[in-house]
């Protein structure tokens, strides 16, 4: 079904993920895009040419990119989903922004130096 051959390294993990996703990006808005043209689901397919990216190669990565304690290679293929490069990059940036905002909200100074005059 894929127009392109599987990757040389990690194909034993990549192939089951792509077959489960029918070689289509899994994203349903986690990247920040609404995907309105394709009814809320990314329409990028493995091997498809993307305007700003060139040929699209889907990657197998965790669905929840906010949890980065375990690298994707350490996870079983059942814990991975198919991502196109634009959606993966967008979801990773969105997760990083959310983690930074959460960290900033929890960052309370030990001493309030501005209040002393």
0.85 cut: is pTM over it?
no
pLDDT band at 48, cuts 50/70/90? confident
Q: Which two tokens stand for residue 49?
A: 């040419």
Judged on CB neighbours under 10 Å (0-12, 13-18, 19+), 27 is buried
* Nearest of 14, 101, 20, 89 to residue 59 by alpha carbon: 14
**Cβ atoms 25, 83 nearer than 8 A:** yes
Domain range list for the chain: 11-105
CA 91 to chain centre: 5
pLDDT in tens, 57-114: 999 988 888 766 555 556 777 789 999 999 999 999 998 888 888 877 777 777 766 6
* Nearest of 116, 67, 73 to residue 95 by alpha carbon: 67
């Amino acid at each position: 079904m894929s127009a392109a051959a599987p990757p040389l390294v990690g194909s034993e993990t990549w192939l089951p993920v792509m077959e489960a996703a029918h070689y289509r990006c899994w994203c349903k808005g986690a990247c920040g895009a609404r995907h309105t043209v394709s009814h809320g689901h990314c329409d990028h397919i493995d091997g498809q040419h993307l305007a700003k990216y060139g040929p699209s190669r889907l990657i197998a990565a965790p669905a929840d990119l906010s949890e980065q304690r375990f690298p994707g290679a350490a996870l079983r293929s059942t814990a991975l989903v198919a991502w196109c490069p634009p959606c993966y990059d967008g979801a990773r940036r969105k997760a990083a922004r959310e983690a930074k905002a959460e960290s900033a909200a929890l960052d309370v100074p030990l001493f309030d130096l501005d209040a002393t005059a």
